[in-house]
Chain A
Amino acid sequence: MTVADKVALIGEKLSCRRGFKLLFQGLDLEAAGGRALVVVGPNGAGKSSLLRILAGLLSATAGQVRLAGGATECALAEQIHYLGHADAVKGALSVAANLGFWRAVLGPTGLGVEEALEEVGLGGLGRLPASVLSAGQMRRLAIARLLVSRRTVWVLDEPTTALDVAAQARFAAFGRAHLAAGGILIAATHAPLDLGETDELRLGPGGAYGVEGTLAPPGADAGYWAGEEL
């Protein structure tokens, strides 16, 4: 992967308001290449909203997201993989057609379709219609999307939902390989992900806390920053 040494996804003074509820305010974060950032917190704390803001799919109420380093000739959106709750799989198409589509659309810079299916443990199922896959297999197919197109930033929302233990371990291996290649990985999760050294960002009713971190210290106007180390 051609990633510069100092690649980092930086969120500056991010605020998010959903309806009347202020989820977080003045949140500064930095996800550096090679070190996973795990976002934790109770349901409704704003994890998914934060990830969608970081992926550029939701505009922040205030603040901005930028990528330092990396391939400057591409737009930010073209360097991000976003894996949300939905698998983006069309049941009417075959497994291989689904993955081939995403390979063509996101840029065929990674593994081939067959190889990627083999990697996620769907080898030999390429010709089946995707509608017959189980929830866990659908998830594996969605994860295969991360492998067919090489991108610097992975933004993952509950990536291991519905995966069995073996598949979770395999997924963690993909994540570690991505980090070892200098990539950025930001994941929201309730279950522990075995990603090696990670920074943790805790969102909650009391505000946002950074743990062990490359997280920036709380600014003067960082409303919801509690600023205490957990």
Chain B
Amino acid sequence: MWSAFIAVVRRDLGLALGSGGGAGLGVVFFLSVVTVVPFAVGPDLVLLARIGPAILWIGALLASLIGLERLFAGDVEDGSLDALSLSALPLELTAAAKGLAHWIATGLPLVVAAPALALMLNLDGRAMGAVMLTLLVGTPAVTFLGLIGAAFAGAFRRGGLLIAVLVIPLAIPVLIFAVSATTAAVTGPVPFGTPFRVLLGLALFALVLGPVAAAAALRGARG
């Protein structure tokens, strides 16, 4: 069963990183959001440093949604999902494998790119580290919650904005605790660990809920 799980992860990674996979698109979008903000709010370095973590997180959240609408749609259209349903791998784990591959291809690059973008927002080392850590924990949560929207988009052949409408409300708690953890690390008075532990909990919750709900949506659409 685990060889099938690894096979799904490897295939989806290959598809995402290969030509036309669009894995780099998220980072480019992230970059453009973060670049535009200083132009909009002006060259106030103190203000930028204060709202910087929030901007990085909004950029990362929106960038995480890119590509989700095709995550299951491709497999539904070309019949791969039918064949995948007949493997020893339960549909929940298939969804989890696809989510993991999608996060490695699109979420992890956001975490890696964050420090470079943090420089543009005048974040100091401490804030930079906190943003990276929250992104490392929070982006998998967003991706796995996004599996739910991706499954709906794939199952009902509706893409585009449906994903954002479905997923962003679910991701709001992640955003709240990620940004408050970063703020706590920089200014206090709450210790970093308090909101960060809630974020960890939310991430674990999403890792379980996302694949189960996505599989239920895919099964429901087929019935």
Which residues of A line the B interface, CB within 8 A?
Answer: 55-59, 74-75, 77-78, 80-82, 84-90, 92-93, 97, 101-102, 104-107, 145
Contacts of A102 in B (CB 8 A): 83
A-B pairs, top 3 by smallest CB distance, nearest first, are A86-B79, A104-B7, A88-B79
How distant is the Cα of A93 from the Cα of B14 in the complex, in angstroms? 8
Which residues of B line the A interface, CB within 8 A?
Answer: 3-4, 6-8, 10-11, 14-15, 18-21, 74, 77-80, 82-89, 222-223
- Of the residues B3, B74, B85, B86, contact of A104 by C-beta under 8 Å: B3
* Contact between chains at A107 and B87 (CB < 8 Å): yes
Interface majority SS (helix, strand, loop, mixed), chain B: helix
Residue among B3, B11, B84 with most chain A CB within 10 A: B11
Provided the pairs A78-B87, A105-B7 are in contact, do residues A85 and B79 lie with their beta carbons within 8 angstroms? yes
Closest chain A residue, CB of each to CB of B6: A104
A188 to chain B, nearest CB (A): 15
* Contact between chains at A93 and B15 (CB < 8 Å): yes
A153 to chain B, nearest CB (A): 10
Contacts of A97 in B (CB 8 A): 11, 14
Provided the pairs A58-B223, A59-B223, A101-B7 are in contact, do residues A92 and B20 lie with their beta carbons within 8 angstroms? yes
* Contact between chains at A88 and B83 (CB < 8 Å): yes
How distant is the Cα of A85 from the Cα of B3 in the complex, in angstroms? 27
Provided the pairs A55-B86, A58-B223, A78-B86 are in contact, do residues A93 and B18 lie with their beta carbons within 8 angstroms? yes
How distant is the Cα of A82 from the Cα of B83 in the complex, in angstroms? 7
Residue among B8, B78, B82 with most chain A CB within 10 A: B82
Interface majority SS (helix, strand, loop, mixed), chain A: loop
How distant is the Cα of A82 from the Cα of B79 in the complex, in angstroms? 10
* Contact between chains at A88 and B86 (CB < 8 Å): no
* Contact between chains at B89 and A105 (CB < 8 Å): yes
* Contact between chains at A106 and B80 (CB < 8 Å): no
How distant is the Cα of A107 from the Cα of B4 in the complex, in angstroms? 8
How distant is the Cα of A106 from the Cα of B4 in the complex, in angstroms? 7
Closest chain B residue, CB of each to CB of A86: B79
Contacts of B14 in A (CB 8 A): 92-93, 97
* Contact between chains at A92 and B78 (CB < 8 Å): no
How distant is the Cα of A87 from the Cα of B79 in the complex, in angstroms? 6
Provided the pairs A58-B222, A81-B86, A107-B87 are in contact, do residues A92 and B4 lie with their beta carbons within 8 angstroms? no
How distant is the Cα of A43 from the Cα of B65 in the complex, in angstroms? 40
Closest chain A residue, CB of each to CB of B76: A86
* Contact between chains at B19 and A86 (CB < 8 Å): no
* Contact between chains at A93 and B223 (CB < 8 Å): no
Closest chain A residue, CB of each to CB of B223: A59
Provided the pairs A58-B223, A59-B223 are in contact, do residues A78 and B82 lie with their beta carbons within 8 angstroms? no
A31 to chain B, nearest CB (A): 17
Residue among B8, B74, B87 with most chain A CB within 10 A: B87
Contacts of A85 in B (CB 8 A): 79
19 pairs of residues in contact across A and B, judged by CB atoms under 8 Å: A55-B82, A59-B223, A74-B88, A77-B85, A77-B86, A78-B87, A81-B86, A84-B79, A88-B78, A90-B74, A92-B15, A92-B19, A93-B11, A101-B11, A102-B83, A105-B7, A105-B83, A106-B4, A107-B4
Contacts of B77 in A (CB 8 A): 86
How distant is the Cα of A145 from the Cα of B14 in the complex, in angstroms? 20
Closest chain B residue, CB of each to CB of A155: B86
Contacts of A88 in B (CB 8 A): 78-80, 82-83
* Contact between chains at B85 and A57 (CB < 8 Å): yes
Contacts of A80 in B (CB 8 A): 86
A106 to chain B, nearest CB (A): 5
* Contact between chains at B18 and A92 (CB < 8 Å): yes
Contacts of A59 in B (CB 8 A): 222-223
* Contact between chains at A89 and B15 (CB < 8 Å): no
Contacts of A84 in B (CB 8 A): 79, 82
